Structure 1
Amino acid sequence: MKKTLTTTILCALALAACSTQTPPPKQAQKGGSTSTPTPTSAIAWAPCTDVQGPDGKTINDPGMECAKLPVPLDYAAQGGEKIDLALVRIKATGAKQGSLVFNFGGPGGSGVDTLPLAKALFAGLNSSYDLVSFDPRGVDRSAPVKCGDTEKYVSESFEDDDKMAEQFVADCQKDSAKVLPHLGTVNAAQDLEQIRVAVGDDKLNYFGISYGTHLGAVYATKYPQKVGRFVLDAALDPTITFEERAIAQTKGFKQAFEAFEKDCAARKCKLGGDVEPAVDKLIDQLEAKPLKVKDRELTADLASTGIFAALYAKQTWPLLEQGVTAAQQGDGTMLLLLADSYTGRKPDGTYSTMMASMPAISCLDSSERPDEATVDRVEQATEKIFPLVASGGLGSICRHWPAKGSDEAKRIDATGSAPIVVVGGKGDPATPYEWAPKLAAQLKTGVLLTYEGEGHGAYLSGSSCVTRAIDAYLLKGEVPQQNTTCPAA
């Protein structure tokens, strides 16, 4: 099958960076430093002017403010060029006890865009905290990475996966050469320290989801004495290999699909109890003839992406059922909308930087540069597990990446920090449960909380048990007992 950029990185987007198959070397990531960043001045908050909702309209919220925070482009030369980090905050609705900084995942996700949309989900925490998030370096408003025409790479198919990757990387180098060597999670962790200083908190209170757990773990490793109340939900194990990660995630999404299929059968949904053959038939039909959706097309690749996106959470299973059923009847609108939500396509047809910034950050976070034989082996292995999301991941892109990768972000040890709550979900397709106890052990100060239900991210699952445990910790400092388990919602 011909491939788009989407299928090349399907199982890596919004999950994690490439991994390594060798012990981490002691070299530092370029721009990395073990010293504390020079404190910045206080942030000058002002009304937001460019934060939009899903409908493309500007969000007007009197409790929301935005700001720019200058940080060093290169932490090894702090007196040199600066870049601006874009920040957003939603002011505490009650007596403020500090700021709670969020990273919602990626790498490459925009916190400035996400926090306003997620505001209601964190209302209980907003009563006591200013909710703060940001676009990490290389993302959207913060020295964004650009790699040519995103529409071309998302929508057009390529015969040769490796040639597509080589062309994509050449576009990244052409458009973003200055910033590429200075991305990565180690640098982002130092930016987090700058944010802590700028908001005026003695310690960083932090909520990281998915890739955000990796960023939080690296921060805690670099600044253990500055760790306040930390929640790492949908935990990532940064030490596993490239191949292990791709296979584990493919199994996770296969498990989620089977759970959706079982749910469909129990509800006697329109797709019936045997969903996979129906989906396979639809993909085959779209491979032969894409569906027209206004001035666009729903291709087999985009349909697969939309289905994949809907498997992240049980709450989006109804959209999956609706999308597949409609596409069977000739209407590809819903699956295309789901695919757009995943690739970062906005209502006006422009794209976020996600498709560019994710590999730019990920490839810098690893020294691994898989050869073509390794990528082929991974593709064959994932094809056997779950053909719908089979992918070689970032292997081809990272192999051609112009900036040298480092394994510094894989060395996790927060000895001396306050307790860090690490959350893993048994039905999480994107960050399989087994990664959570591994990350908790690597941190040395991790406290494991297990969620028995479905979905990527336990706090957003609707589980009252998880919500109570995390809120009690963040609001009152009540650390859950080690190995606490919450039932499915």
Structure 2
Amino acid sequence: MPNPPRLRAAALTATALVLSSVLAGCGDDSQEDEDLSAQELSWKDCPAPSAAEGGGNPPSPLPDGDKWQCATMKAPLDWAKPKGDTIELALIRAKSSGAESDRIGSLLFNFGGPGGSGVTTLPAFGEDYAKLRTRYDLVSFDPRGVGRSAPVECENNLELDAYFQQDATPDDAAERADFLVNTKEFNGACETNSEKILPHLRTTDAARDMDLMRQVLGDAKLHYFGISYGTELGGVYAHLFPRNVGRAVFDAVVDPTQTSEQGSLGQAKGFQRALDNYAEDCASKAEDCPVGNSAQDVKNRIAKLLKDLDSKPIPGIYPRDLTQSAATNGIAQALYSQDFWEYLTEGLDQAYDGNGQILMALSDSMNGRNQDGQYSNISAANVAINCADDKPRYSTDYIQRKLPEFRAASPLFGDFLAWGMAGCTDWAVAGAADHPDVSAPGSAPILVVGNTGDPATPYEGTKKMVDALGEGVGVELTYRGQGHGAYDSKNKCVQDAVNGYLLDGKVPETGLVCS
């Protein structure tokens, strides 16, 4: 993924759909006399997802036959001018399945990215949260700049196909020049097509949107389930509104103390650790591991494949070829979930025979491309939100000096993630800070769940988040597992702890370890 500063996963269900095939804008109305916290939402049957949300069909009914409901909420375009122009934010909900007397309120989800559509992701995983639905309305949303919420628009589908085919790990001066030109062209397209929204996409803006949602949904406290980047968003919310935090869970925790460079280096280590775990697992299966005879052999063969693809791509999904960048991106996507390790094995085996379809399907899912060649705006929003948040800007000379450190962290992903730091070059909006402030004295307890095998939000960030939230706020829970996140692993220990807190207010003892 050449441009975004940090790797992030598209919804895993989208990956499965792609693999199976191989095997609203800003409003100008002044709101001078309108109290946005008093607005009433008009909940209706959900439409089909927009192109920016990834397209497809309307969400299927819940297992009990209830339908998902959608609405839009007005929010200030500029929170510094709360009575000025507004944008519309897309929301989705499943009403509580339990008795009204047992209902706690709404449970708001953010599934990460940044740039992921909550309106499409919550229904995809809705059954996983059936127990939580017994006492909550399950609610999610497209954050500003995402999906149907004033979406960022950059390049068109054909331009994105070419953009994601570029060499994201340039080896010489000519390749570096091309890489920088492509980055500037992408970023320039974002400014041309989305100039009005770009200055208002910081995580602090989204956190203020969430507090408005809390009020409009009728809740005295915000009950929240944040995953991946959603943990950073939740932390920023807790910092801004500590007294409004209800029961909150952070799963797959972002390290809030890191600069974007440190975050990228941490991801290099995290993805390498996940690759090591995959290679060990595959090699332990003997004849069932067609991509290597030992863990080191698996990694050596992957490294050779990527080196060969750098000079000679192989056929991917017609008419595109599988390039080194696409293959690296696809391997990273497969490492987000242990359930996809079998697809990675198949994809590598296929690629060694000169067929890059599966690895390209995985890469397409990471980039938000569907089977029809249409891209969601997840990559555009990811860049725009990261660049609005992150103050540092890194030159190609600086990145070159850092390459040895990144390669030491990960021979496979180091170059890829180092060059990703160029993503905010010449961005139209200055970044807000070196890292987010999540200190939240006075907040209710927040359950912070880390996975020791997490590639994208390495486990070490869990303790950093707990410490940064402040004494008496963060409650640490460790899951000894694989993949991105813990609750969706179906581990009973993890789910019992999370459900116990969200449903019954029972705070686990800090330091609990689940395996």
1:458 counterpart = 2:481: no
Distance change >3 Å, CA 481–CA 295, structure 1 → 2: same
> How far did 1:291 drift?
1.3
Distance change >3 Å, CA 293–CA 243, structure 1 → 2: closer
Question: Aligned match of 2:407 in 376, 380, 383?
Answer: 383
- What pairs up with 1:118-197 in 2 under 5 angstroms? 118-149=125-156, 150-157=160-167, 159=175, 160=177, 161-197=179-215
> What is the aligned partner in structure 2 of residue 427 from structure 1?
453
> What is the aligned partner in structure 2 of residue 28 from structure 1?
none
Residues 197-236 of structure 1 show CA distances to partners (whole Å, capped at 9, x for unaligned) of: 1111111110001100000001011111110110011111
Question: Aligned match of 1:13 in 2, 8, 12?
Answer: 8
Structure 2: which amino acid aligns with 1:239? T
Distance change >3 Å, CA 260–CA 128, structure 1 → 2: same
> What is the aligned partner in structure 2 of residue 3 from structure 1?
none
User: 1 CA distance for matches of 2:461 and 2:229?
Assistant: 12
> What is the aligned partner in structure 2 of residue 338 from structure 1?
362
What is the DSSP-based 3-state SS (H/G/I as helix, E as strand, rest coil) of the residue aligned with 1:424? strand
Question: Which consecutive residues of structure 2, in runs of 5 or more, have no partner in the other structure?
Answer: 11-34, 169-174
Distance change >3 Å, CA 156–CA 162, structure 1 → 2: closer
User: 1 CA distance for matches of 2:350 and 2:332?
Assistant: 16
Counterpart contact for 2:254–2:457, Cα < 8 Å: yes
Counterpart contact for 2:450–2:478, Cα < 8 Å: yes
User: 1 CA distance for matches of 2:351 and 2:55?
Assistant: 23
> How far did 1:10 drift?
6.8
- What pairs up with 1:296-375 in 2 under 5 angstroms? 296-375=320-399
- What pairs up with 1:3-402 in 2 under 5 angstroms? 6-9=1-4, 11-13=6-8, 38-51=36-49, 56-61=56-61, 62-95=66-99, 96-149=103-156, 150-157=160-167, 159=175, 160=177, 161-268=179-286, 269-272=289-292, 273=294, 274-287=297-310, 288-390=312-414, 391-392=417-418, 394-402=420-428
Structure 2: which amino acid aligns with 1:392? A
Paired positions, count: 461
Q: In terms of mean alpha carbon deviation, does 271-280 or 423-432 score higher? A: 271-280
> What is the aligned partner in structure 2 of residue 418 from structure 1?
444
> What is the aligned partner in structure 2 of residue 33 from structure 1?
none
User: 2 CA distance for matches of 1:265 and 1:10?
Assistant: 32
> What is the aligned partner in structure 2 of residue 441 from structure 1?
467
Structure 1: which amino acid aligns with 2:409? I
Distance change >3 Å, CA 137–CA 379, structure 1 → 2: farther
User: 2 CA distance for matches of 1:254 and 1:392?
Assistant: 14
Counterpart contact for 1:290–1:300, Cα < 8 Å: no
> How far did 1:154 drift?
1.5
> How far did 1:475 drift?
0.6
User: 1 CA distance for matches of 2:7 and 2:336?
Assistant: 13
> What is the aligned partner in structure 2 of residue 475 from structure 1?
503
What is the DSSP-based 3-state SS (H/G/I as helix, E as strand, rest coil) of the residue aligned with 2:125? helix
Counterpart contact for 1:304–1:389, Cα < 8 Å: yes
Residues 383-438 of structure 1 show CA distances to partners (whole Å, capped at 9, x for unaligned) of: 33324322225532323111122129622211111101111111111111111111
Residues 172-194 of structure 1 show CA distances to partners (whole Å, capped at 9, x for unaligned) of: 11111111001110000000011
What is the DSSP-based 3-state SS (H/G/I as helix, E as strand, rest coil) of the residue aligned with 1:7? coil
Q: In terms of mean alpha carbon deviation, does 456-465 or 387-396 score higher? A: 387-396
Query: Which stretches of structure 1, 4 residues or more, deviate above 4 A after TM superposition?
Result: 52-55
Counterpart contact for 1:306–1:339, Cα < 8 Å: yes
Structure 1: which amino acid aligns with 2:328? S
User: 2 CA distance for matches of 1:169 and 1:380?
Assistant: 27
Counterpart contact for 2:47–2:58, Cα < 8 Å: yes
User: 2 CA distance for matches of 1:479 and 1:218?
Assistant: 21
Counterpart contact for 1:40–1:198, Cα < 8 Å: yes
User: 2 CA distance for matches of 1:201 and 1:40?
Assistant: 13
Residues 266-321 of structure 1 show CA distances to partners (whole Å, capped at 9, x for unaligned) of: 11222232211221232234331321433332222211111110011212111111
Give the alignment's TM-score, normalised by structure 2. Answer: 0.85
What is the DSSP-based 3-state SS (H/G/I as helix, E as strand, rest coil) of the residue aligned with 1:388? coil
Distance change >3 Å, CA 40–CA 349, structure 1 → 2: farther
User: 1 CA distance for matches of 2:285 and 2:363?
Assistant: 25
Structure 1: which amino acid aligns with 2:74? P
Counterpart contact for 1:234–1:457, Cα < 8 Å: yes
Structure 2: which amino acid aligns with 1:421? L
What is the DSSP-based 3-state SS (H/G/I as helix, E as strand, rest coil) of the residue aligned with 1:85? strand
User: 1 CA distance for matches of 2:440 and 2:5?
Assistant: 31
> How far did 1:446 drift?
0.6
User: 2 CA distance for matches of 1:115 and 1:56?
Assistant: 15
Residues 421-473 of structure 1 show CA distances to partners (whole Å, capped at 9, x for unaligned) of: 11111111111111111111111111111111111101112211101100100
> How far did 1:326 drift?
1.9
User: 1 CA distance for matches of 2:356 and 2:347?
Assistant: 7
User: 2 CA distance for matches of 1:417 and 1:284?
Assistant: 50
Aligned-residue RMSD, C-alpha: 2.1
User: 1 CA distance for matches of 2:389 and 2:55?
Assistant: 34
Structure 2: which amino acid aligns with 1:151? D
User: 2 CA distance for matches of 1:343 and 1:247?
Assistant: 21
Counterpart contact for 1:427–1:453, Cα < 8 Å: yes
What is the DSSP-based 3-state SS (H/G/I as helix, E as strand, rest coil) of the residue aligned with 2:224? strand
Q: In terms of mean alpha carbon deviation, does 159-168 or 473-482 score higher? A: 159-168
Q: In terms of mean alpha carbon deviation, does 467-476 or 94-103 score higher? A: 94-103
What is the DSSP-based 3-state SS (H/G/I as helix, E as strand, rest coil) of the residue aligned with 2:113? coil
User: 1 CA distance for matches of 2:55 and 2:200?
Assistant: 34
What is the DSSP-based 3-state SS (H/G/I as helix, E as strand, rest coil) of the residue aligned with 2:188? helix
> What is the aligned partner in structure 1 of residue 20 from structure 2?
none
User: 2 CA distance for matches of 1:422 and 1:90?
Assistant: 25
User: 2 CA distance for matches of 1:143 and 1:297?
Assistant: 33
